[in-house]
Chains A and B, each alone.
Chain A
């Protein structure tokens, strides 16, 4: 391992990492390439992850979770990427990480009991549906309408780029119940039986093993009991979800970059050119040194923001900084990883080729690089 374990981690994390690592090595890694090429992984993997105790980390045991906090979530997610070697599988398995927190945050006890346990047992798939075909960054302008009719909402509109949306059993959906702007937004759990349709499974640059859907609501009848929190009060839980999501994405980037770095180190040592190993050239060693340095820096920032979050500090701006630092780092490291692999780095059979494509999502998803800078501008007060 090029870097020692994160400073704030203890024995519990170490044991958890080794369990997650072992699970990912046996249950993901052998199939990673095939599932990425097929654009899907078996649904049974959710149950396998649940049985191994790695799906419900970070959720209370009362709802079938495994307990622990965000530091445990990130540690396990990193091992999934490092040892499973499929970013697509890791993010597909993890779509509940962004879908369930609003339920936990503002849902009623009955809603928590209904929606959390089946997902944490690996029997149901949950997805978060905020982004729309017409816009993602400007959440406050979303147009999917939910009109109250007795004890139901009639929902019409569309959602775009929804991770795990093709197979989701329910969508935690941002809808407009009121007037314009953020004060008219509510969160609704829309279940498959309410009749949403998957318009298409989108073909993507990376994250192939994870399905991404465009979804249509054509007068879906959703019971009012599926409203999360107060009507018109959906914007705040959506925004609160974002800080955690951004830390997750930053930590994904740290893991992806570390994997790309490890692969590059090993390749540079093995590959011969001009009578020596490629790592025998100073220019290669310096590339690797720069990769390791940027990786260490982004990891340190991500870990610091994580610690502040765990202490209960508001980390809106810092989480945005961590995301930008980590996504920039990850793109740069993966680019260099491909370079070190020469022609093979451009070939699908090499992991770094895939990581290079996977990395490109991160400055876009979960709030774009530019939106992060908007957030930072606001919290910094200029």
Chain B
């Protein structure tokens, strides 16, 4: 199985307090931010690796995992890290974040999918910076492929994937015929979430995303990493989403101490108006 994984580099959400907005308010100042892969995309990569291996021998790939990111030169670091955990090949579409929106990424990915012809496109359900939750769905629409979003479990079948989606009150199971687009939620990296045809159903993965060991990190330098121009993928680089201004959230106000339960209830009722 050949899988294309879309991977975005985001500002580390644990350091959100370092996000600065210049007085002009026309952009976010990204200087000094720490970057990391979007966690949901890392989960998608982990799922792709699990789908292309026998869980008992995770060093051998059955099929191919190609990772793609949209970003400047520095994002090659993110791609190299993905190669180090097991992806075979990487593609960087050379562009900066401010020139992108979800629709454009989906259009460009469509062109890339037509070139690469993967059986599955896997990606996170959303990126934790913009939280837009659009690209997977838009891409499936553009390709006219089946899709499953918010996947919590994936089981490979002959020519299809059985995808469990967590919904209110239970799990909905979809069978998507390949090729398909699947976006993943965080439970996809639980020990028994993903099974390829090769992996025994008794196998238990370590919880979470696998670690890149040093030999693989070094070897990743030799894996192919191609650069593609955005213009080569889509002639239409227009943006549907335009940002008109940024402002930081209001500083948190100091809390208050309540006297007793009666006081608390009264305030919840009269001031917070939640009761």
**A interface list, Cβ under 8 A from B:** 1, 11-12, 14-16, 18-19, 22-23, 26, 51-54, 57, 61, 66-68, 72
Contact = CB atoms under 8 A, between A and B. Distances in A.
Given A11-B80, A12-B221, A15-B84, A54 B211 contact: yes
Contacts of A52: 211, 213
Nearest to B211: A52
B16 interface: no
A26 B208 contact: yes
- Central interface residue in A12, A26, A61, by most chain B CB within 10 Å: A12
B81 interface: yes
B214 interface: yes
B220 to A, nearest CB: 8
Contacts of A68: 214, 218
Given A16-B217, A68-B214, 15 more contacts: A1-B34, A11-B77, A12-B214, A15-B80, A15-B212, A15-B217, A15-B220, A22-B209, A22-B211, A51-B206, A53-B214, A53-B216, A54-B211, A61-B215, A66-B215
Interface in B7-48: 34, 36
A67 B217 CA distance: 10
Contacts of B212: 15-16, 19, 53
B24 to A, nearest CB: 25
Interface string B210-238: 01111111101100000000000000000
* Most chain B beta-carbon contacts within 10 A, residue among A51, A61, A67: A67
Interface string B71-91: 000000100110010000000
Closest 8 pairs (CB-CB, A-B): A53-B213, A66-B214, A52-B211, A68-B214, A15-B81, A19-B211, A15-B217, A67-B215
Contacts of B36: 18
A192 B135 CA distance: 59
Contacts of B221: 11-12
Contacts of B209: 22
Contact of B81 (A18, A54, A57): A18
A72 B214 contact: yes
Contacts of A57: 214
Nearest to B216: A53
